[in-house]
Homo-oligomer: A and B are copies of this chain.
Amino acid sequence: MPLFIGVDIGGTKVLAAAVSSAGRVLRTATRTTPGRRVEARLVEDALTEAVQEIAGVRRVGAIGIAAAGFVDAQGERVRFAPHLPWQDEGVRARLAERWSAPVVLDNDANCAARAELTYGAVGDAESAVVVTLGTGIGGALILDGEVLRGYNGMAGEFGHNQVVPGGRPCECGGTGCWEQYCSGNALTRFVRDQGVEDLAGPAITAAAAAGDPVALAAFAEVGEWLGVGVANLVASFDPQIVVIGGGLSAAGDLLLEPARHALRESLVGAAHRTVPPVVRAALGPEAGAVGAADLARQRFRSAGTRARARLRAARETARRP
């Protein structure tokens, strides 16, 4: 059986994983992302090293890449990636040639949503809003059991929805973007604003779990913003379920209970509809890589199946008198 590999490339880390057809991570390899102001070649070298470490001498079926950036509708290019040196380059074809293997490319949040859809918290739901809370917000919409890609391949970028007119400036160039109020960065900022300097990232989650009042208040505020933003998405898309993933989701109900409360308060007509459950993602930090591997497997396994079916059909035709 050939290996199917998923590679998640973010602003800080490259994570490659060999993934079974049941979504189990068999083996991982990591590299540091060389940065955004370097030659693209250096990033591709890091990807190549991680893939080679995973593959060893095994035959590779296909490789999926989950990239932190806007990927075009054809899955050929990274159009816009604030944390990566790729811009409008035909990355997929170049890596496929370098690796002599089939390669597919998608946005990292789309890949994480795909993993939740195939193996995780989406379950039997036909439609879902998936919010990935890390440093910023990654998002995806699932409709009719598929990740919605959109006309430009850029659907689900709701982290940059404006929620406060003239609000906090965002790296995207806008102001008042949702991720400025609801993300790992927002959590750390809240704690700093309370005068606590030595608490950041996962340590805030640990402090909240231990009952620290500042950390708890930080999750209450970020959770409320999560619920308000989710209410807007639910009013627009009316999904069956809402799945919250990413690093912050490790806080579980400390984050999700304030979000559920704000969703019920903010959602139009909440008393006259089924308010969707807000659940924690089932897959951990490897969700992006798992989803990318699944995308690669589905794309190229089915191509293989179709090719074999065509071959059989051609042979049978040839045998006829």
Contacts and interface: CB of A to CB of B under 8 A. Distances in A.
A165 interface: yes
A157 B80 contact: no
B80 A239 contact: no
Interface of A: 70, 79-80, 87-88, 126-127, 139, 141, 143, 148-158, 160-165, 172, 174, 177, 228, 231-233, 235-240, 266, 268-269, 271-274, 276
Nearest to A181: B165
Interface of A is mostly: loop
Nearest 7 A/B pairs, CB to CB: A150-B238, A160-B268, A80-B272, A155-B238, A161-B232, A152-B273, A151-B240
Contacts of A149: 238
- Among the interface residues A80, A158, A236, which one has the most CB atoms of the partner chain B within 10 A? A236
Among A87, A165, A177, A271, max chain B CB count under 10 A is at: A165
A72 B109 CA distance: 31
A235 B157 contact: yes
Nearest to A164: B165
Contacts of A162: 163, 228, 231-232, 266
A273 to B, nearest CB: 4
22 contacts: A70-B273, A79-B269, A79-B272, A79-B273, A80-B269, A143-B143, A143-B148, A148-B237, A150-B238, A151-B238, A151-B239, A151-B276, A153-B238, A155-B236, A160-B268, A161-B235, A162-B231, A162-B232, A163-B165, A164-B164, A172-B268, A174-B266
